A and B are shown apart, each in its own frame.
Chain A
Amino acid sequence: NAGVTQTPKFRVLKTGQSMTLLCAQDMNHEYMYWYRQDPGMGLRLIHYSVGEGTTAKGEVPDGYNVSRLKKQNFLLGLESAAPSQTSVYFCASSYPPRVLAFGSGTRLTVV
């Protein structure tokens, strides 16, 4: 039982490049989330999903897209990376009553 797994763990992108962050969970959780963490800002919700095939916007969705084609996977896409998207990205999943379990994070630098 691996819990919540994020790949990659580190990535450096050039401005304008695209990439996809993968989150996988093996706990059969319905809810999945993508957060970003910046110094002094806490964690801010980007997008979330309440079930397979559904997605919803969080606090800071601009510049990101997501997909939840399979229950166990939640993908976060950056179509055209910008330096403002330099951050640590955390994926989480939750079980009733929506208690979050987090992955170990992805550190993304956009230069």
Chain B
Amino acid sequence: GIQVEQSPPDLILQEGANSTLRCNFSDSVNNLQWFHQNPWGQLINLFYIPSGTKQNGRLSATTVATERYSLLYISSSQTTDSGVYFCAVEWDGGSQGNLIFGKGTKLSVKP
């Protein structure tokens, strides 16, 4: 099956700093999403981005499908950005609905 690798596994930032999180995948995909899991365990969808670039406030994401990676940018980080960021992909050659998650990047933003 498709492999999903996220980097870095852990990231510590000072409030106000910028960061880039990466998601590499091993095969072509027709669905790619980014999620944030807050310290209380709630999972929130940030982006649906199988290709191209999207922005939502201080967050933006870019997927280069031909090179099999996606990037999540966080600018001017805030303590509320802390948590774990996951990417999830659906292999183009697999069953619809089989959405596979990476192991996540744990982000800690210090005041």
A contact set with B: CB distance below 8 Å: 31, 33, 35, 40-45, 48-50, 56, 58-59, 88, 90, 92, 94, 97-102, 104-105
Contacts and interface: CB of A to CB of B under 8 A. Distances in A.
B98 A42 contact: no
A43 to B, nearest CB: 4
A94 to B, nearest CB: 8
B83 interface: no
A97 B90 CA distance: 11
A106 B35 CA distance: 19
A92 B103 CA distance: 18
B97 A59 contact: no
B48 interface: yes
Interface of B: 1, 31, 33, 35, 41-45, 48, 86, 88, 90, 95-104
B33 A56 contact: no
Nearest to A51: B97
A105 B35 CA distance: 15
Contacts of B88: 43, 100
Contacts of B98: 45, 48, 56, 58
Nearest to A35: B101
A50 to B, nearest CB: 5
Contacts of A97: 31, 48
Nearest to B47: A99
A35 B88 CA distance: 12
A42 B97 contact: no
A50 B104 CA distance: 26
A98 B98 CA distance: 10
Contact of B43 (A49, A99, A102): A102
B105 to A, nearest CB: 10
A45 B86 contact: no
